[in-house]
Structures are given as structure tokens and as C-alpha cells.
Amino acid sequence: MTILGSRPVSLWLGMSPIEASSDAIEGSPLDRFIFQVLVVAACVVLVRRPINWRAVFTANRWVIFYFLYLGFSVLWSDYSTVAFKRWVKDVGSALMVLVILTEANPLQALKTTFLRCAYVLVPLSVLFIKYVPELGRGYDPWSYEPVNIGVTTNKNMLGMTLFICGLSLLWALLEKWEARLAGPKWKRLTGDFLLALMVLYLLRQTHSATAVACTVLGSGILVATRIPAIRRKLERATVFVLATAVLLVTVGPMIGLDRTLVGVLGRDLTFTGRTDIWKAVLSEDINPLIGVGHYSFWLGDRVARISESYFYHLNEAHNGFLEVYLNGGLIGLTLLLVVLVSCWKKSIKEALTGNSFGGFRLAVLAGTILYGATEAVFRFGFLSTALLAVIMASPTRLVASVSEARAAFLANEEHDSVARKGVQVLDV
């Protein structure tokens, strides 16, 4: 998670992108080897754990269907080998998530993972931006103006990292504030509060309107779900928000409201040139039903053709839903929407019961959906892995099944230990 939330290991070792990559398609052999080792390690951990796989599949059937379809789409890709390798990397993210969610206390393990990322990535980003500019600053490929990138490779990635780290810190602060523990609260809150202030500072330094909007939205949802009066009206509030969004999309352009809202976020109506990219990719000849295959749209001659109007090669559509459509077609997009809707319903039910994780899950989901309007967030990366973690987490069936299996495993271990001691006594 810290690698995905910052930059590849090859870049940390000082290798330039050209030196790190064997070619533009295959990428860095070093980074590929590191991810392969991590995936194998995850498999070893999961095989050794007494997991009830039937419960895992039942709780995440739509996620599994989505991943299976992405794997199946490799068959009609023009670069099947490359697409298959990238699909294996995506499956590796799911395996990493399962390592977290099959711990004895999965929700605590999930929170700990996110917080540890925040404890490392947030202070280092402040340090790099203020005192190590050769590492913490770069140039915007759109305007070639100086931008702050912190520990990441560009300001958009820094915004995604701050979005998850900020929500995780707020989640921890709210739980610590409500906990009835001995001693003054300020001692328990000081560290996370200072890191939250660093997140606010970095959000201002990134000048990323999307990151700010998503963090504000997620934080508002997280706080609102902790207030009983608002929580009881959560379902009606959801309907209101969806209706408002539909009105803004349909009626907003007629009355000029879209210009006002976009201006407040510091954007222009082209979303910093993104609408031109959307028009260009939609004009490409692809199969609308099944797309071009997993991670295959930005490969080959198509990239050079679309990038003719730009001074660098494009590598994403800057829209998560459009990216899924281009690679997986309407089938892939429909499966993604089913996954998001099912997780949304589950989050609402949990939040209504006062479950703090339900509020956090809802905050991450809502913010990521908004992020998907301007960035390709549903592909391998820090934000997609964090989203996958909150979607797959199930504090009821999955955790109960794993706990029962773990208890049975410990009982067997105790029985074996007693048997071994008996054999030793007989030997004596």
C-alpha cells in the first residue's frame, strides 16, 4: 500500500523512468519482480490460514464476477500477454486485501493499514515539498507549471493518497473521541490531529480541486453518520443527493449552474482539457459491448493517434467509468456499477446501525465515485486497492466464518500440543 500510495521502488532507488523500463509496454523489470514476490507471499499467507472460502465467495460474488470478466476480456485484447500480466497484478491487489481481511480482527487490521500509510506518506510529503524540492516537486504536463507532488509521481496521485489518508485519520479521531478510556482525550488525539492538519496543508499545496471536493464530501459523510439525528434520515438523504445530482446534470447547463459550480472548484468547463480527451476516445472504433480487452486501450498505434494534439503521450481517459467502458465495454461497466450499488446498499444498512465502519465505507465509496468523474480510479493503484478493501470487508458473515475457523484451528493446535507432550512423557 505504501508503494502504491507513493512511487515505484525503481524510482525510489533513483532510476529514471527510461532506465527503469525495459520498454514502454512491459515497464520496469524490478518493479514487476517486487510485485510478483508480494503476490506469492500473499498466496503463502492465505494458504496457511484456515479460511472459509465459501463465505468469502458468497460475501463478494459480484466482485469475483467482475474480476473474472476482466480476466476473460484478455482473450480479445490485441496484447493478450500484457493484458494478462496486468490482470494478474489486479488479482494480486485482491489477494493483499484478503490478507488484511482474514486477520483475527479484520476491521482493526484494515484501519491499521490505512493509518500506517498515513503515518509514513503524509509527513514525508510535507518534508519533500518544503525541504527536498528535487523529490517533492515536479511539472504539470498540461501547463508545464511547477506543482507539488510529495512522495508520489504527480499531483493527481498525491490527491488520491491524501483522500484515503485523510478519511482514515478522521475515522480514527472520531473513534478515539467517542471511546470511554482513562486519561485525557487530548493525549490520544494529538498525533492523529497533527497529521490531519498536515493533510489539509498538502491538499492546499496540490491545487487539486477533485481531491479537495472528494475529501470534503467523504469527511462530511463520515461525520454525519456519527450524528443520530442525521443517521436516521440517511436513506432519504441519499435519495435527495441522487436527485440533486440528476438535476445538476440535466437542468444545470440550461441555467448556467454548471459554470458556477465548476468555477467554485477552480475548474473550467473543459475540466482542464479532459472533455477534449473524452471526445477523442469516444470517437475511436471499439466494440461497445465488450471493449478492447483488459488494460488494452492505451497500447499500440492508438495512443499515438489520440495524442497527436498533445505534446506527450496520453495513458488514461481521465474518467474512471469511461476507462472501464473502453476496456471492458458495456458489460464491464454494468458489472462495475452493480458492485458499487451493492456496496452502497450494504454501507447504508451498516451506517443506520451506528457502525463506524459503515460510515467510513460510505465515505470512501462516495468520494471515489466522485473521483471517477475526472480520474481513472478503477485500475491498479492506491485508491482502487483501498476501494476494493472497503468493498470486500464484511464484518458479519466473513469475519464470523473466519473466527470460527480460526477457533477450530487453535483447538486442533492445542490438541496436537497435548498429544506431543504425552508422547514425550511416554518416551521418558
Using alpha carbons only, give the angle 11, 308, 271 rounded to the nearest 5 degrees: 75
Report the percent of the chain where pLDDT is more than 90.
Answer: 42
Query: And the C-alpha cell for 377?
Result: 480510479
C-alpha distances out from residue 311 to 279, 295, 297, 304, 306, Å: 18, 23, 19, 11, 11
Helix (H, G, I), strand (E, B) or coil at 145: coil
Q: 309 vs 320, which has greater pLDDT? A: 320
Mean pLDDT on 322-336: 93
Mean pLDDT on 135-164: 87
Helix (H, G, I), strand (E, B) or coil at 139: strand
Mean pLDDT on 118-134: 95
Please report the pLDDT score of residue 358 as a whole number: 87
Mean pLDDT on 20-36: 73
Tell me which amino acid residue 257 is: L
Mean pLDDT on 275-298: 88
Instruction: Tell me: pLDDT of 333 over 70.
Output: yes
Q: Which residue has the cell 464530501?
A: 217
Instruction: Tell me: pLDDT of 414 over 90.
Output: no
Mean pLDDT on 310-336: 88
Instruction: Tell me: pLDDT of 22 over 50.
Output: no
- Range scoring the smallest mean pLDDT among 326-330, 331-335, 374-378: 374-378
Task: Decide if 167 contacts 366 (C-beta within 8 A).
Answer: no
Query: And the C-alpha cell for 384?
Result: 482502487
Instruction: Tell me: pLDDT of 415 over 60.
Output: no
Q: Encode pLDDT of 42-67 as tens digits.
A: 999 999 998 888 888 988 999 999 99
Q: Using 50, 70 and 90 to split pLDDT, how confident is the model at 400?
A: very low
For residue 295, the Cα-to-chain-centroid distance in whole angstroms is 17
Please report the pLDDT score of residue 183 as a whole number: 61
Task: Decide if 154 contacts 230 (C-beta within 8 A).
Answer: no
Q: 23 vs 184, which has greater pLDDT? A: 184
Please report the pLDDT score of residue 353 as a whole number: 81
Please report the pLDDT score of residue 257 as a whole number: 47
Please report the pLDDT score of residue 425 as a whole number: 47
Mean pLDDT on 172-199: 82
For residues 320-342, one letter each, b for 16 or more C-beta atoms within 10 angstroms of the residue's C-beta and e for the rest, the string is bbbbbbbbbbebbbebbeebbee
* Consecutive H or E run containing 95: helix 80-101
Tell me which amino acid residue 359 is: G
Is the CA virtual torsion 425, 426, 427, 428 positive or negative? positive
DSSP per-residue string spanning 310-328 = SSS-----S-HHHHHHHHH
Using alpha carbons only, give the angle 225, 180, 232 rounded to the nearest 5 degrees: 20
Task: Looking at 269-319, list the stretches that DSSP marks H as alpha helix, in order from N- to C-terminal side.
Answer: 274-282, 301-306
C-alpha distances out from residue 206 to 125, 138, 156, 160, 209, Å: 11, 11, 8, 11, 9
Please report the pLDDT score of residue 283 as a whole number: 86
What is the Cα–Cα distance from 421 to 405, expressed in whole angstroms?
24
Query: And the C-alpha cell for 51?
Result: 479460511
For residues 276-308, one letter each, b for 16 or more C-beta atoms within 10 angstroms of the residue's C-beta and e for the rest, the string is ebbebbeeeebeeebbbbbbbbbbeebeeebbe
Instruction: Tell me: pLDDT of 258 over 90.
Output: no
What is the Cα–Cα distance from 145 to 135, expressed in whole angstroms?
16
What is the Cα–Cα distance from 282 to 416, expressed in whole angstroms?
63
Residue 280: name the closest of 310, 321, 320 by CA.
310
Using alpha carbons only, give the angle 291, 98, 88 rounded to the nearest 5 degrees: 35
What is the Cα–Cα distance from 268 to 53, expressed in whole angstroms?
48
Q: Using 50, 70 and 90 to split pLDDT, how confident is the model at 241?
A: low
For residue 356, the Cα-to-chain-centroid distance in whole angstroms is 19
Task: Decide if 337 contacts 295 (C-beta within 8 A).
Answer: no
Mean pLDDT on 334-354: 88
Instruction: Tell me: pLDDT of 239 over 60.
Output: yes
What is the Cα–Cα distance from 72 to 27, expressed in whole angstroms?
23
Residues 6 or more apart in contact with residue 102 via CB below 8 angstroms: 46, 49, 51, 402
Residue 244: name the closest of 236, 232, 271, 215 by CA.
236
Instruction: Tell me: pLDDT of 243 over 70.
Output: no
> Beta strand pairing status for 137-139 and 146-148?
antiparallel
What is the Cα–Cα distance from 99 to 29, expressed in whole angstroms?
25
pTM of structure: 0.84
184: left (phi over 0), alpha (psi -120 to 50) or beta: beta
- Range scoring the smallest mean pLDDT among 10-14, 128-132, 362-366, 417-421: 417-421
Residue 318 burial (CB < 10 Å; 0-12/13-18/19+)?
buried
Instruction: Tell me: pLDDT of 151 over 60.
Output: yes
Backbone angles phi, psi at 410, to 5 degrees: -65, -35
Q: 411 vs 44, which has greater pLDDT? A: 44
Q: Encode pLDDT of 189-204 as tens digits.
A: 888 999 999 999 999 9
Q: 317 vs 290, which has greater pLDDT? A: 290
Q: 361 vs 20, which has greater pLDDT? A: 361
